[in-house]
Amino acid sequence: MTDSIASRLAAIRARIEAATAAAGRPAGSVALVAVSKTHGAAAVEEALAAGQHLFGENRVQEAQGKFPALRPAHPALRLHLIGALQTNKARDAVRAADVIESLDRPKLALALKDAMDKEGRRPGLLVQVNTGDEPQKAGVPRAAAEAFIAACLEEWALPVRGLMCIPPAEGDPRPHFAALRGLAQRFALPVLSMGMSNDFEAAIAEGATHVRVGTAIFGGR
């Protein structure tokens, strides 16, 4: 098979299926988010032609430049925003995304609530938890996560569907994935977005419902 986006997608799907089976989980219970950041619309169209309809982007502006023109011909297309989100981009994010995975602070929660009220659109939200408490990373600190999730659900009535994390680059990611799973269970949240190109099989073993894979599909940036 030639080294194409279609062939790489097929290889990743096969690995997801194998990891799902090895974990004793139902077939089809893990969704692949193809992270197309820094790759143009032509690369997205190649993936769409290969049957991929769920994509992830880091930046609102880049998403706005690619996806609106593709949606009419691809009504099944779904877009997740996965990068750190500035409050002044909240309204653009609400317009562009089907799911926003990077909710991590009260100021952003309130900005998204206001944007949803104004736009009449309620994309799903995931709370990003900084499971390694790394100062350089976005995400609510672990110690503050429960109170923040509760406020999002109860005080602000936001459509929080689940949690997301990016574990530290060094060390075993599985304790971080397990901690996120336990936190989601406490709030009966069904979505766990965790695992990327280098660790998604470990994430599936720990209960991921969505894995975010970019480089292994689209190549280097």
Spatial contact of 210 and 16, defined as CB atoms under 8 Å apart: no
Q: Residues with Cβ < 8 Å from 106, sequence gap 6 or more?
A: 148, 151
CA angle 144, 195, 13 (to 5 degrees): 150
- Residue 213's domain comprises 5-218
β partners of residue 212:
33
9: Cα separation from own chain's centroid: 17
Number of Cβ atoms within 10 Å of the Cβ of 80: 26
Cα dihedral across residues 5, 204, 157, 85: positive or negative: negative
Q: Which of 165, 175, 158, 171 lies closest to 210, judged by CA?
A: 165
Q: Report the pLDDT value the prediction gives residue 220, as an integer from 0 to 100.
A: 76
Q: Report the pLDDT value the prediction gives residue 211, as an integer from 0 to 100.
A: 98
Structural domain count of the chain: 1
How high does pLDDT run on average in the chain?
96
- For the entire predicted model, the pTM comes to 0.96
Number of Cβ atoms within 10 Å of the Cβ of 151: 13
On the question of pLDDT at 123 being above 90, the answer is yes
Find the mean pLDDT for residues 73-84.
97
On the question of pLDDT at 3 being above 90, the answer is no
| CATH number of the domain enclosing 108 | 3.20.20.10
Q: Report the pLDDT value the prediction gives residue 221, as an integer from 0 to 100.
A: 65
Percentage of the chain exceeding pLDDT 70? 99
On the question of pLDDT at 126 being above 80, the answer is yes
Concatenating the DSSP letter of every residue in 3-48 gives: SSHHHHHHHHHHHHHHHHHHTTPPTT-SEEEEE-TTS-HHHHHHHH
On the question of pLDDT at 2 being above 70, the answer is no
Q: How confident is the model at residue 178 (pLDDT cuts 50, 70, 90)?
A: very high
Q: Report the pLDDT value the prediction gives residue 219, as an integer from 0 to 100.
A: 86
Structure tokens given for 133:
């408490």
- Tell me whether residue 165 is exposed, middle or buried, using C-beta atoms within 10 angstroms of its C-beta: 0 to 12, 13 to 18, 19 or more: buried
Q: How confident is the model at residue 1 (pLDDT cuts 50, 70, 90)?
A: very low
On the question of pLDDT at 25 being above 60, the answer is yes
Find the mean pLDDT for residues 205-216.
97
On the question of pLDDT at 129 being above 90, the answer is yes
Q: Which of 85, 88, 70 lies closest to 125, judged by CA?
A: 85
